[in-house]
Structure 1
Amino acid sequence: MDVYSDLDKKLTTCTSLFQTPLVVATLQTGSDVPRRLACFGSSEAWISDIDDIIEGCSLKTEFPVTNILRTKSGRRPTDLGVDPKGSLVYSDHFRRKIYKWKNKQFKKVIGFRKWRPSGICYTSTGDLLIGMSNKDYTEKKIRRYNRGTIRQEIQFDGNGNPFFKSGDLAIFVEENKNHDICVSDCQANLVLVLNRSGCFRFKYSGSHVAAEFNPGCLATDSFCNILVTDTGNDMIHVLDLNGQLLKFVDSTCGVTGFNGIAVDCEDRVWVIECHTAKIKVINYLV
């Protein structure tokens, strides 16, 4: 059965649930300027700062910060992820490596000679998707790894033109539940969505807002919605699987300074409020 047709009933239910977003939990981190966020389960998260610290946080403990780690390289992480077994993974843009927290230490799992990793995510099948650029930022691409082996590279469209704009800003990547590859191209100020084979589906340029669309980190939920932070307009754009804008999550729900973002197993969005160093958990399907 076509994966898109199979989702129709669920997507209709999702659209009918959209009302005013509601903050349902707040975590005060120990971070100075939190940047990236990865959550797992319904109560646990990792965040990273502008330095070499990664904090573990929980909704279930008396003190929200449960763990403090230092990166292997002493540099700040470019992005965070959680593998299918729940292990923390981060990308190091400067050292050109991917590290995993295993047996109480960070171990290199992938290293690159000519490419700098930025956004990372694990797919439903356990593959690792990595957005990356070359050393002088003139080329960007996405690689799919399975157990350390390259399975796919996405760089050019059917006409041989590059998908991603050159420049030193990152590309962040997430897999949607329909297996689409969702990319936030920060340099091009757009969200680009490709199918699993790497073919173009659509792009979203945030034309609904007054100020310039400035996409950052993104996340997806079980309804195939795409949520992307927009630091230029201080909000989250929520798109459906075909790129149609469903709603904004903005300061009306009591959150400002949107930065890192993730969606938990209960379809709640976790977002970093950078100026307060708080994580706020938002139910936007209420």
Structure 2
Amino acid sequence: NLKFDLEEMDLKYTTFLNEQEDEITRKVSEITQTIADLKKLLNTNDFRQVSAYKPMNAEFRQLPPQISVSLPSFTPQTINREQIHQQFGFMSELVIKTEEPNRLLIDEPKVISVTETEFGESKKLHSVACLNQEEVWAGGQDNMIRLYNLKGELVKAIHTKSGNNPENITVTRNGDLLYTDVDKRTVNIVKNSHIQKLLRLRGWRPFGVTSTSSGDLLVAMDTDDYKHSRIVRYSGSLLLNCIEVDEQGQPLFSPGRYIRYISENKNHDICVSDWYAGAVVVVNQAGKHRFTYTGPATKTMGSLYPYGITTDSQSRILIADDKNNCIHIIGQDGKFLRFIDNCDLHSPWGLCVDTNDNLFVAEKEGQIKKIQYYM
């Protein structure tokens, strides 16, 4: 490494200089001794000794070689700050929350309201995101993202910047709308009805997106050839870490051209619905695999077909099961708790919960149902 190279050069150069100094000292000593001998010879007045003397002028006239030193130069490389961040890892923000009191699930969940939307038929509804307790964003196979109130009234409509359908939508902790554009490979943010490009990917296509409690973004993405899938955490546009394989090096998620819904739990676990695998994959904040849920141990229904996913104040995970027309509720450690299967659901796709733990379910044919499932 660089430190070792510098130490080695220092040792080599010091050794060389010491050798040169020793040689010069030896020459000076010889000259001094010769001068003393000559003075002694002069004082003897001995003709024979003077005649026999052989001068050493030629030897002393040859000076030590001049030293030419080429000092090492340092050539700095361009620092890739993103790589450094990935190698060091990341530290999440300090989040202080008051613990919610334990809430009991009611025996019979009930539909509080039904909102009819412009989606349905050829324009399937597949994503919802709560803005507040009275308004919810809806997105699907249409280039418009619409905000509805609980009366079913259209409050606002946002036309996507590219004209493409939004693949997935979410709301940040500041109330800004986010959506993914698969074909443009972008994640976009809507502030005061103005759309800004937040991320533009290269070689990857964004599908699911969610905003974390610390303000980071989690983006589910696939390679352009749909052969690899991963979850990436961003702080603004800065990549913090990638989650792709487990501890054995095996892929955590199934690649493919479909929405991968994603949600952060209160304990900072990352919950991902993997439709191809018929599973929900949960990893911790650092990306270590915690568990995979494929349905309750007692198979009272068919295989799980997970679409939308969300979490609530009790750290419970809610999963939309498209084919079985129900919602699975599981604990933060993967234990099955119950179904919501009595609310006349039809192909539930998108899910979100408001601050009171009311569940909003987007059915692909266009209805949004608000469901109470806690006492």
TM-score (norm 2): 0.70
Give the equivalent residue in structure 1 for 2:107. Answer: 19
Return the match for 1:273 from 336, 340, 363: 363
> For structure 1, which segment, 238-247 or 205-214, has the greater mean C-alpha deviation from structure 2 after superposition?
205-214
> For structure 1, which segment, 226-235 or 256-265, has the greater mean C-alpha deviation from structure 2 after superposition?
256-265
State the AA in 2 paired with 1:53: M
State the AA in 1 paired with 2:309: L
Contact 2:158 2:193 in 1 (8 A): no
Q: Post-superposition shift, 1:217?
A: 1.1
Give the equivalent residue in structure 2 for 1:154. Answer: 243
Query: What per-residue deviation string (whole Å, max 9, x for no partner) do you get for residues 236-273 of structure 1?
Result: 111111111111112x2233331211111110100113
Return the match for 1:216 from 307, 311, 319: 307
Instruction: Return closer, same or farther for 1:210/1:17 CA change in 2, 3 Å cut-off.
Output: closer
Consecutive unaligned residues of structure 2, counting only runs of 5 or more, are 1-96
Give the equivalent residue in structure 1 for 2:142. Answer: 51
Q: Is the aligned partner of 1:186 residue 2:275?
A: yes
Return the match for 1:30 from 111, 118, 125: 118
Give the equivalent residue in structure 2 for 1:86. Answer: 175
Q: Post-superposition shift, 1:64?
A: 1.7
Q: Post-superposition shift, 1:63?
A: 5.5
Give the equivalent residue in structure 2 for 1:98. Answer: 187
Give the equivalent residue in structure 2 for 1:72. Answer: 161
Give the equivalent residue in structure 2 for 1:249. Answer: 340
Structure 1 residue runs of 4 or more that deviate by more than 4 Å after TM superposition = none
Query: What per-residue deviation string (whole Å, max 9, x for no partner) do you get for residues 81-121 of structure 1?
Result: 11121011100111100111124221111001111001110
Larger radius of gyration: 2
Return the match for 1:112 from 198, 201, 206: 201
Q: Is the aligned partner of 1:259 residue 2:339?
A: no
Give the equivalent residue in structure 2 for 1:127. Answer: 216
Consecutive unaligned residues of structure 1, counting only runs of 5 or more, are 1-6
Instruction: Return closer, same or farther for 1:22/1:133 CA change in 2, 3 Å cut-off.
Output: same
Give the equivalent residue in structure 1 for 2:259. Answer: 170
* Matches of 1:163 and 1:253, distance apart in 2: 33
Q: Post-superposition shift, 1:185?
A: 1.0
Q: Post-superposition shift, 1:69?
A: 1.6
Contact 1:209 1:233 in 2 (8 A): no
Structure with more strand by fraction: 1
Q: Post-superposition shift, 1:200?
A: 1.0
Give the equivalent residue in structure 1 for 2:227. Answer: 138
Give the equivalent residue in structure 1 for 2:26. Answer: none
* Matches of 1:209 and 1:183, distance apart in 2: 23
Contact 2:359 2:372 in 1 (8 A): yes
Counterpart secondary structure, 1:157:
coil
TM-score (norm 1): 0.90
